[in-house]
Amino acid sequence: MTDFSMELSEDQLTIQKWVHDFAENVMRPAAHEWDEREETPWPIIEEAAQIGLYGLDFMADAFSDPAGLKMVLALEELAWGDAGICMAIIGSTLAVAGIMGNGTPAQQMEWIPQCFGTPGDLKLGAFGVSEPDAGSDVSSLKTRAVYDAASDEWVLNGTKTWITNGGIANTHVVVASVDPELAGRGQASFVIGEGTKGISMGQKFQKMGIRASHTAEVVLDDCRIPGANLLGGKEKLDERLARAREGKKSGGQAAMKTFESTRPAVGAQAVGIARAAYEYALDYAKERKQFGKAIIENQSISFKLANMKTQIDASRLLVWRAAWMAASGKPFENGEGSMSKLMAGETAVRVTDEAIQILGGYGYVREYPVERWHRDSKIYTIFEGTSEIQQLIIARAISGLHLS
Ligand SMILES: Cc1cc2nc3c(=O)[nH]c(=O)nc-3n(C[C@H](O)[C@H](O)[C@H](O)COP(=O)(O)OP(=O)(O)OC[C@H]3O[C@@H](n4cnc5c(N)ncnc54)[C@H](O)[C@@H]3O)c2cc1C
């Protein structure tokens, strides 16, 4: 008798196929247009909402999988369809992860539905940590949150940068410093609801890839929010700050908690892009003839494809393992979440690069999707922790040393 199986369940296969059909029939045909337009693809998000793919029900169903695989299976398919549109559809879940990771059950009930809205009345969420001078080093955030006891409000000031859905979201979750002397341990997460004064969009960025996903600065200028919008509540924050001031161990940084849980999900998207490029290149290599034979008959091409497939499968296995560990409550003692994101992100860049090589000139022009997949892939070695930061996390985990 064995407990171990790599076979997907009926339920997992059903969600995988359902998302794949949407990716193939709705996202793929729209991918080129929205990449060129560099705008949020509202009609596609609406279609996703209509079928229940954008919203609370989908999240709840995906996270109900005890094996933890449904979400990563869905994300691989979405990114296979198109990474930019995928990010436009799932960008709101970054805010949701921030609320889930740090909010009380009552705050989760109140705010998470507001990150999605309903079909016909879509809403977006955004999660803002990064700042112009604080990217990888999230402990050095300058955005300040000051408590005004007289009005029971928090007053936020600062600039967040490169924020997915930044400034266009209805609900923003931001991480700010409450006590700068405590660096990362003096931070907390806050929800800024729709219609709040003092929050505005700064520059909207033009990007190399995932261009259907909106990325912009978020400017906070005396932005006042109710005391109740501090995720986790003031009592818990005060306790945490007191412990940090005494030099005792605390529950960790608010931003890091969110990123830990989302890393396998980011890796799954990178696997999806890599798979798209690999499949395209494999078909092409069988059809394209030069010197009187299919180019795949050259070992230099067939071995490239062999390596591409091997690296994709290895990446997926790391993603599945990390997703399973997270769902089973097993701690990432060796940085397994980071391993999955590191491997999958690097694989996506390498595989899409090789796919361009296999297509030759056809790989380099915009009429074919391969150059877009390469442009899209690069962000997976940068956001939610660069490849170097993933290596640092793994190195610290395996050594037990506070390496830098
Ligand atoms: C399209 C896009 C969407 C994004 N979405 C969001 C979002 O929704 N919310 C959000 O908060 N942020 C978001 N980000 C920001 C993203 O998370 C940061 O860009 C990322 O964390 C890296 O920070 P940085 O760009 O400041 O680079 P830096 O931290 O300045 O790093 C520059 C280089 O130095 C290396 N480096 C830095 N420190 C070390 C070290 N200790 N050891 C070794 N190497 C090191 C890095 O690996 C990198 O190669 C987004 C970014 C982009 C481009």
For residue 285, pLDDT beyond 90: yes
130 pocket-lining for ligand 1 (C-beta < 6 Å): yes
Q: Is 384 a catalytic residue?
A: yes
For residue 101, pLDDT beyond 70: yes
Taking the domain 10-122, which CATH number applies? 1.10.540.10
Give the span between the Cα atoms of 210 and 213, in whole angstroms: 6
* Residue to mutate, 86, 93, 136, ligand 1, most ligand atoms under 8 Å from C-beta: 136
Nearest residue by C-alpha to atom 45 in ligand 1: 388
Nearest residue by C-alpha to atom 44 in ligand 1: 388
pLDDT, mean of residues 10-33? 98
Interval between CA 383 and ligand 1 midpoint (Å): 6
Residues 296-341: pLDDT tens digits? 999 999 999 999 999 999 999 999 999 999 999 999 999 999 999 9
pLDDT at 4: 86
pTM recorded for the entire structure:
0.96
pLDDT, mean of residues 140-150? 98
pLDDT, mean of residues 82-103? 96
What residue segments make up the domains of the chain, in order of their start?
Answer: 10-122, 125-245, 254-399
Query: Using an 8 Å Cβ cutoff, are 199 and 219 in contact?
Result: yes
pLDDT at 2: 67
Interval between CA 149 and ligand 1 midpoint (Å): 35
More confident residue, 16 or 101: 16
Q: How confident is the model at residue 253 (pLDDT cuts 50, 70, 90)?
A: low
Interval between CA 382 and ligand 1 midpoint (Å): 6
* Residue 154, beta-bridge partner list: 147, 225
129 pocket-lining for ligand 1 (C-beta < 6 Å): yes
- Fold observed for domain 254-399: Butyryl-CoA Dehydrogenase, subunit A; domain 3 (1.20.140)
10-122 and 125-245: identical CATH topology: no
Question: What are the C-alpha distances in Å from 183 to residues 221, 242, 340, 356?
Answer: 22, 14, 28, 44
Q: How confident is the model at residue 248 (pLDDT cuts 50, 70, 90)?
A: confident
- Fold observed for domain 125-245: Butyryl-CoA Dehydrogenase, subunit A; domain 2 (2.40.110)
pLDDT, mean of residues 178-201? 97
pLDDT at 262: 80
Residue 179 burial by Cβ neighbours in a 10 Å radius (0-12, 13-18, 19+): middle
